[in-house]
Amino acid sequence: MSVIEIKNLHKIYNESEVKVHAVNGINLSFEQGEFAAIVGPSGSGKTTLLNMIGGLDSPTEGQIIVGGTEINKLKAGKLIDFRMRNIGFVFQAYNLIPVLTAKENVEFIMHLQGVSKQDREKRTKELLIAVGLGDRINSRPSKLSGGQQQRVAVARALASKPKFVLADEPTANLDSKSTENLLDIMEKLNKEENITFIFSTHDARVVKKAHRVITVEDGKVISDERK
Amino acid sequence: MIWSISWRNVWRNKTRSIVVISAIALGIFAGVFSTAFMKGMTDQRIESAIETEISHIQIHQPGFRESSEIDLLIDNSDSLINNLQKNPAIANVSRRIIINAMAASAETSSGIKLIGVYPKAESKVTTIHNKIIEGEYFKGVKRNPVVVGKKLAEKLNLRLHSKIILTFQDFEGNITGAACRIAGIYNTNNSLLDELNVYIKFTDLQKLTEIPKNTNHEIAINLYNNLTANDVSKNLSKEYPSLEILPWQTLKPELGYMSALMDVYMYIFIVIILFALGFGIVNTMLMVVLERVKEIGMLMAVGMNRLRVFNMIVLETIFLTLTGGIVGIIFGTIIAKYFSLHPINLTWYSQGLSAIGWDSRVYTSVNFQMILIVTVLVILTGIVAAIYPAIKALRNDPAEALRTE
Ligand SMILES: Nc1ncnc2c1ncn2[C@@H]1O[C@H](COP(=O)(O)OP(=O)(O)OP(=O)(O)O)[C@@H](O)[C@H]1O
Ligand SMILES: [Mg+2]
């Protein structure tokens, strides 16, 4: 069974005078353990698609089924809870809480989930070591580089043991070395722990690393290749 | 964890937070200190009025207080006083004859209230004998000694041992007079009183006015405990229904109200301060929420529900407010405590104050119940001020907030 099932998805923005058909009839499914990139020109609808998969935005039409739950039918409160338990997020920026240390940022969601202190600390340590920040556990985000911050964000996204991780242009603000480093870490986690990653990108080097590349244009999938 | 996030968020923009905290601290300090000051002043005023003037309970024939008629006398006062002295709540009793009189010196004259007292008994009920600034309390003059206030002495241009002529009506309605000498001059800080009240020996005044023995106009009672005045006077009224027996609160209603009124006034004052501070706090927190749109959006995206976001903002506001509040309360209390031992001298002001019966040296009065209430009010202000910014924070749409540009 697929982790994510997307059926006939549409999103129309009509707040302004011109209607924007940002997602225009997308059908997709993702299996456990995929490492998929969504690519396409600016304005093609990548962010809109990811936001709907993550339950941050609601579709105008269509269905998104995550592990058997149709998330577009969930009530707002339930949806927040569902997100917290099933989906990990990495954003382009503003991922971390500036007043918390790396360790506390990773612990934060587990804390909301009510994980015991002991388990929390163990997992946080493992994750920060896995992303290569075992020695920066007590640093605040402002004391970390952009690449290090994004690695903390990846660790944070994984902390809640989600079904999959969504990342919208996670490397957009990073230099090429940090980009490669982050991708390597994501790939390693994907391989070793079979974690599903879905990320959007403009970056050809990132695309190269992906095992599946989905190209969108004008809100439609124009190609879907597996390597 | 939300607590610690909120607390650390307070210190994220240090300059701004310190400005707000200082404003709150100053406001609360002003509130606490001025409350202690006013409260101290009122307490002192009440205490001194009781000590020098009214005592705790007074007994009269009904109507005497209004008309001062010489024949409205309390009969059988010997046995009445005997009974009163057996009452366990009563410390001391003093009987007085009170008549209106005219006092004249060689130069000028003035209307006065002539009060006949037994010096020993009177000095156990009021403290006039402690306020003598010249001469002695009924000593040093053989015939008709009187004790007058400093203000009256100045007005009539009298000195110690000067002669003073008193003119008044006797019990038969005939005008009579007496030549007296000033044995002592007192000063109570209440110049109204000092100008009006002239004390003479009970026995002298009785002879001069020919008021019958075993009668008098007023009995002043001093209690062991000020707070029992109401109850004791009620019980005595039941025992002696034909007499008017009143506690100090009724004798001088303005004193009783003054205490209650001062409390109300103080709370209004503090609420106004907090209200003004509240706007500053709302403004600061709105800025905070606006600055953190993306961060709050991210928190909501990764699973922080609305209640937690709301609580986070409310807690931050309370921490901010309470930090300022506690600083203000601590400083206010310490300084008020200091001035409760070392009085504030308002001499440069005191001419006006003593004219209306206030002491020029003010001992502040620190009231811990009030401090507790102020603390609760500060927290409430924090909560109320947080609501609007917190609701604003909830309006965030995570998808919208996170669209980076
Ligand atoms: N809130 C909105 N209201 C109206 N139109 C919107 C809104 N959000 C996005 N759009 C429009 O929807 C379309 C798809 O936008 P989206 O952000 O998904 O593109 P994208 O592929 O992520 O682009 P980029 O690569 O620049 O991030 C664009 O034309 C955009 O202008
Ligand atoms: Mg985008």
- Spell out the residues 6+ positions from residue B369 whose beta carbon is closer than 8 angstroms to its own: none
Q: Which amino acid is at B286?
A: L
pLDDT of the residue at B350: 59
Q: What is the mean pLDDT of residues B59-81?
A: 92
| Rounded CA separation A99/A140 (Å) | 7
Question: Ligand 1 pocket test: which of A18, A38, A47 has the largest number of ligand atoms within 8 Å of its C-beta?
Answer: A47
pLDDT of the residue at A18: 85
A192 CB less than 6 Å from ligand 1?
no
pLDDT of the residue at B349: 63
pLDDT of the residue at B266: 86
Instruction: State the pTM of this model.
Output: 0.79
% of chain B surpassing 90 pLDDT: 65
Q: What is the mean pLDDT of residues A86-105?
A: 92
| Rounded CA separation B284/A25 (Å) | 45
Give the Å distance between the CA of B25 and the centre of ligand 2.
Answer: 47
Nearest-Cα distance to chain A for B319, in Å, is 15
Confidence tier at B369 by pLDDT (50, 70, 90): confident
| Rounded CA separation A132/A147 (Å) | 11
Confidence tier at B400 by pLDDT (50, 70, 90): confident
Q: Where in chain A are the domains?
A: 2-226
A51 CB less than 6 Å from ligand 1?
no
Q: What is the mean pLDDT of chain B?
A: 90
Distances (CA, A) of B223 to B73, B84, B234: 23, 11, 14
Nearest-Cα distance to chain A for B306, in Å, is 8
| Residue (of B223, B273, B252) closest to B42 by Cα position | B252
Tens digits of residue pLDDT in A36-51: 999 999 999 999 999 9
Q: Please determine, for residue B278, whether its predicted confidence score (pLDDT) is greater than 80.
A: yes
% of chain A surpassing 90 pLDDT: 75
Q: Which fold has domain A2-226?
A: Rossmann fold (3.40.50)
Question: Ligand 1 pocket test: which of A9, A15, A48 has the largest number of ligand atoms within 8 Å of its C-beta?
Answer: A48
How much is the ipTM here? 0.91
Nearest-Cα distance to chain B for A198, in Å, is 16
Lowest mean pLDDT among B15-24, B223-232, B383-392: B223-232
Tens digits of residue pLDDT in B76-130: 999 999 999 999 999 999 999 999 999 999 889 999 999 999 999 999 999 899 8
A112 touches chain B (CB under 8 A): yes
pLDDT of the residue at B142: 86
| Rounded CA separation B93/B90 (Å) | 8
Q: What is the mean pLDDT of chain A?
A: 92
Nearest-Cα distance to chain A for B4, in Å, is 9
Confidence tier at A71 by pLDDT (50, 70, 90): very high
Tens digits of residue pLDDT in B315-349: 999 999 999 999 999 999 999 999 988 888 776 66
B5 touches chain A (CB under 8 A): yes
In this structure, the strands spanning B145-149 and A212-217 are unpaired
What does the H/E/C string look like for chain B?
A: CHHHHHHHHHCCCHHHHHHHHHHHHHHHHHHHHHHHHHHHHHHHHHHHHHHHHHCCEEEECCCHHHHCCCCCCECCHHHHHHHHHHCCCEEEEEEEEEEEEEEECCCCEEEEEEEEECHHHHHHHCCHHHHEEEECCCCCCCCCEEEEEHHHHHHCCCCCCCEEEEEEECCCCCEEEEEEEEEEEECCCCHHHHHHEEEEEHHHHHHHHCCCCCCECEEEEEECCHHHHHHHHHHHHHHCCCCEEEEHHHHCHHHHHHHHHHHHHHHHHHHHHHHHHHHHHHHHHHHHHHHCHHHHHHHHHCCCCHHHHHHHHHHHHHHHHHHHHHHHHHHHHHHHHHHHHCCEECHHHHHHHHHCCCCCEECCCCCHHHHHHHHHHHHHHHHHHHHHHHHHHHCCCHHHHHCCC
Rg (CA), chain B: 31
A22 CB less than 6 Å from ligand 1?
yes
B301 touches chain A (CB under 8 A): yes
Give the Å distance between the CA of B366 and the centre of ligand 1.
Answer: 63
| CA angle, residues B332, B334, B340, in degrees to nearest 5 | 100
Give the Å distance between the CA of A40 and the centre of ligand 2.
Answer: 10
Confidence tier at B256 by pLDDT (50, 70, 90): confident
Set of chain B residues whose Cβ sits within 8 Å of the Cβ of A103: none
% of chain B surpassing 70 pLDDT: 96
pLDDT of the residue at B165: 94
Backbone angles phi, psi at B386, to 5 degrees: -80, -25
Q: pLDDT higher for A17 or A90?
A: A90
Q: pLDDT higher for A214 or B265?
A: A214
| Structure-token pair, residue B173 | 């309605």
SS3 state of residue A85: helix
Nearest-Cα distance to chain B for A184, in Å, is 24
Q: What is the mean pLDDT of residues A98-117?
A: 92
Residue contact B306–A77, C-beta within 8 A: yes
Backbone angles phi, psi at B135, to 5 degrees: 75, -155
Question: Ligand 1 pocket test: which of A9, A13, A52, A215 has the largest number of ligand atoms within 8 Å of its C-beta?
Answer: A13
pLDDT of the residue at B354: 60
pLDDT of the residue at B261: 85
Confidence tier at A66 by pLDDT (50, 70, 90): very high
Q: Where in chain B are the domains?
A: 2-49+256-402, 62-242
Q: Please determine, for residue B405, whether its predicted confidence score (pLDDT) is greater than 70.
A: no
- Of A47, A89, A100, Cβ closest to residue B5: A100
| Structure-token pair, residue B62 | 């009904």
A17 CB less than 6 Å from ligand 1?
no
B12 touches chain A (CB under 8 A): yes
Counting Cα atoms < 13 Å in the Cβ hemisphere of B150 gives: 13
Residue contact B398–A56, C-beta within 8 A: yes
Q: What is the mean pLDDT of residues B372-376?
A: 90
| Residue (of B195, B197, B198) closest to B178 by Cα position | B198
Q: Please determine, for residue B404, whether its predicted confidence score (pLDDT) is greater than 60.
A: no
Residue contact B404–A156, C-beta within 8 A: no
- Ligand 1 atom at minimum distance from A16 CA: 4
| Rounded CA separation B271/B369 (Å) | 16
Q: What is the mean pLDDT of residues A200-205?
A: 90
Q: pLDDT higher for A204 or B404?
A: A204
- Ligand 1 atom at minimum distance from A44 CA: 21
Confidence tier at B352 by pLDDT (50, 70, 90): low
Burial class of A148 by CB neighbour count within 10 A (0 to 12, 13 to 18, 19+): buried
A167 touches chain B (CB under 8 A): no
Q: Please determine, for residue B353, whether its predicted confidence score (pLDDT) is greater than 80.
A: no
pLDDT of the residue at A54: 93
Q: Would you say A151 and A183 are in contact if contact means Cβ atoms under 8 Å apart?
A: no
Which residues are registered as beta bridge partners of A89? A166
Best B10, B302, B400 member to test A by mutation, with max A CBs in 10 Å, is B302
Q: Which residue has tokens 């410390």?
A: B91
- Ligand 1 atom at minimum distance from A49 CA: 18
Set of chain B residues whose Cβ sits within 8 Å of the Cβ of A93: 294, 404
Set of chain B residues whose Cβ sits within 8 Å of the Cβ of A108: 1
Confidence tier at A106 by pLDDT (50, 70, 90): very high
